[in-house]
Structures are given as structure tokens and as C-alpha cells.
């Protein structure tokens, strides 16, 4: 395995031994597939010194023989180790790429069985009509708890995610993005409405464009009143406080409130203008980007930073576009452009 030593180093040559002090606290790379850090350290040692005996391994490492034998047994059970038939038996480590593939496949099969069992448990749930009022609303406290609930909500969506996006964030964009794009990959429809201040954050416009290119339907609105995520039009996650100083959020399940939040989302969607993905060759459509940011209410200085243009160039181009479109306000220019399909609508 590349990346430098992560376990004890052992060299076996004939009957002589080159001993080095072991370092059993390294490793942990294979924990995701059920290998403890201690067992991984033994496995890494065997990869460097294949076909050594148990006695040679014990002598070189200074490890307790009983503990070492337990590690070897576990590695053997996982398919990471085999032994020769002759005596004394020599230890043969399995190829890491082949062995780990088997472990990953085994774990995936176990996860699928767990997923099937979870679906079977749904039958034991109360029907929505029988839910007590106190079960319709859940209060979540703490940024990490909110972030975990967001990921759980998105990953559990089966058909559609509706979102209103505005800072501050409980989940970092680089952490949330992969989960949302992962749902796109399994056929979930994702539609998001961004506030201007969302797109002003460093890298946010590029992330929104990348999401649009991956299949997210994205629009921008100058007045997004609240941050909101709705899963399958039945469960909504929203903050208790606009600035999230208290770090608390609400999860609201099937109710009139969720229906009202869905209607609010649709009203804003109709007023918003689309965020345009890149052209076929990947280059940005500058005027379309400009109109999108213009309609969002973003100032010239912020637009200039996002498009890497001078403020003077942006101001001149904005005036030209508003004159061409016959618009009296910036937002009107964006709306007119959308109606004329200049934003790829």
C-alpha cells in the first residue's frame, strides 16, 4: 500500500531478522470494510514481508503471541490472509485490491439486506391520519444535528426535492452538494431557488452552475424569505431563527403547514429566473449569467467579482441589455430575458 509505513516494519531473510519497533496505532484505512486498525497494521506488515511464519512475526514485532494470533484469525476470516500447508505454516497476504473488492461487495449486500428490512418496517408505522399532533413537528438543536438531519432527509427522498437556498448554512456547500447530486443520479428531481446572497459567497455561483449542469433545476429570486428543504412534498426542514444564531430547526411532517410551504415555494419559483448551465463546450454564457445575477438583485461590484469583469464593463453591459430588452429595472430585465428564452428557459 502506498503512502508510507502505517504499521510495524519487518524484513525476513533466511534465518536472520531485522527488527524494528512496531507502531500498532497507525492504519484505519480499512475500517470502513470491517478491519480494525490493529488488524490492518498486521496485514500491512504481511504485505511487506509475505511468507513469514507466526513465530517470525511475533519475534520481530514484540507483539503478544495470543493477541497476534487473534488478529491473524480475523484476517483469515475476512479473506485477507491464507496459510501454506507445510509446517511451519507461512502466512500469505491476499492482494489488497482483490480482497477489498470482496469485502466491499459483502458489505454492500449486507446494507441492501438492511435497507430491505427497513422498508418492511414501514408497515409497522402509524398511518399519517393517525399521527398525534406532537409527532408532526420535531425540534432539532445544534448545527451538527441539523446537518445530519438534512443529509438524512435528502438521502431519503424518492421523487423530488424542493429547496430555498440562503445563508447562513448548517451544512457546508461542499458537504451538501455531493448528497444532492447523488439523488440526481438515481432519478430524483431537484429544484432549488437561490437568494442573491447565496451566489455572492466564494465559489457559490460555480457550484450552482455545476449543479444545473448535473441536472438540478435552479433559479434565482431577489427575495427568498426563508431557508427550506422539502422532501417528496411531505416532510420539510426549516430553521427556527432566520440567522440561525440559536442553531435550531424544525422538521414538519405531512400537514397543512407542509402544503402551505410547498405553495410558497411554487409562488417564488414562478417569479424566479433560471440559472443557466455552461454551453456544450463548457464555456459560460456571459450575458445569460449577467442577466441571472442582475435579476437576483446583485450589485454591479458583486456581479463583476463573480464574472471576473471590471465594474465599468458590467455597468456598460447592464445598460446595453436593459435598453435592448426595454426594461426599466434590473429584475424586469431578467424576467424579460427569461420570457424571450435568453436564459435558456
The gap between the terminal CA atoms of the chain, to the nearest Å, is 50
> What pLDDT, on the 0 to 100 scale, is given for residue 3?
40
Distances (CA, A) of 315 to 51, 101, 131: 73, 56, 56
Distances (CA, A) of 133 to 128, 253, 255, 308: 10, 10, 9, 52
For residue 10, what is its C-alpha cell? 519487518
Cα 328 from Cα 79, distance rounded (Å): 71
Cα 272 from Cα 220, distance rounded (Å): 5
Cα 123 from Cα 110, distance rounded (Å): 21
H or E stretch at 141: strand 137-141
Q: Model pTM?
A: 0.51
Structural domains of the chain ordered from first start: 11-98 (1.10.10.10), 141-275 (3.30.870.10), 278-345 (1.10.10.10)
User: pLDDT tens, position by position, for the chain (345 residues)?
Assistant: 334 333 333 333 333 334 444 444 445 778 888 888 888 888 888 888 888 888 888 877 778 888 888 889 988 888 888 888 888 888 888 888 888 888 888 888 888 888 778 777 766 665 544 445 556 888 888 888 888 888 889 888 999 999 998 887 765 555 555 667 677 777 889 999 988 888 777 777 777 777 777 788 888 887 888 899 999 999 999 988 766 555 788 899 888 889 999 999 999 998 887 776 654 343 444 666 777 777 666 777 877 877 778 888 888 888 887 777 777 776 677 666 666 655 554
pLDDT tens figures, 66-86: 888 888 998 888 888 888 888
Question: DSSP character for 126?
Answer: P
Amino acid at each position: 500500500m502506498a503512502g508510507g509505513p502505517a504499521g510495524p516494519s519487518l524484513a525476513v531473510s533466511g534465518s536472520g531478522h531485522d527488527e524494528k519497533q512496531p507502531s500498532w496505532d497507525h492504519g484505519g484505512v480499512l475500517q470502513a470494510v470491517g478491519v480494525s486498525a490493529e488488524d490492518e497494521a498486521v496485514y500491512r506488515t504481511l504485505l511487506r514481508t509475505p511468507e513469514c511464519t507466526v513465530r517470525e512475526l511475533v519475534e520481530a514485532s514484540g507483539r503478544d503471541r495470543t493477541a497476534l494470533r487473534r488478529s491473524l484469525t480475523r484476517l483469515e476470516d475476512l479473506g485477507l490472509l491464507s496459510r501454506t500447508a507445510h509446517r511451519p505454516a507461512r502466512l500469505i497476504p491476499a492482494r489488497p485490491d482483490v480482497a477489498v473488492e470482496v469485502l466491499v461487495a459483502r458489505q454492500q449486500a449486507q446494507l441492501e439486506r438492511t435497507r430491505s428490512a427497513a422498508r418492511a418496517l414501514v408497515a409497522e408505522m402509524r398511518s399519517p391520519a393517525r399521527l398525534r399532533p406532537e409527532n408532526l413537528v420535531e425540534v432539532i438543536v445544534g448545527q451538527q444535528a441539523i446537518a445530519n438531519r438534512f443529509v438524512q432527509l435528502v438521502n431519503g427522498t424518492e421523487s423530488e426535492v424542493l429547496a430555498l437556498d440562503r445563508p447562513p448554512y448548517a451544512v457546508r456547500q461542499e458537504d451538501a452538494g455531493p448528497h444532492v447530486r447523488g439523488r440526481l443520479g438515481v432519478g430524483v428531481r431537484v429544484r432549488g431557488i437561490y437568494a442573491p446572497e447565496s451566489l455572492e459567497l466564494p465559489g457559490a455561483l460555480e457550484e450552482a452552475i455545476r449543479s444545473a449542469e448535473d441536472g438540478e433545476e435552479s433559479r434565482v429570486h431577489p427575495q427568498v424569505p426563508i431557508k427550506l428543504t422539502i422532501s417528496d412534498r411531505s416532510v420539510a426542514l426549516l430553521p427556527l431563527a432566520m440567522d440561525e444564531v440559536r442553531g435550531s430547526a424544525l422538521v414538519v411532517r405531512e400537514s397543512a403547514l407542509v402544503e402551505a410551504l410547498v405553495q410558497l415555494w411554487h409562488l417564488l419559483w414562478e417569479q424566479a429566473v433560471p440559472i443557466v448551465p455552461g454551453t456544450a463546450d463548457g464555456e459560460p454564457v456571459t450575458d445569460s449569467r449577467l442577466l441571472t445575477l442582475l435579476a437576483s438583485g446583485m450589485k454591479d461590484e458583486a456581479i463583476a467579482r463573480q464574472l471576473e469583469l471590471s465594474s465599468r464593463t458590467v455597468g456598460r453591459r447592464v445598460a446595453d441589455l436593459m435598453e435592448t430588452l426595454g426594461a426599466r429595472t434590473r429584475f424586469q430585465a431578467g424576467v424579460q430575458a427569461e420570457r424571450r428564452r435568453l436564459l435558456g428557459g
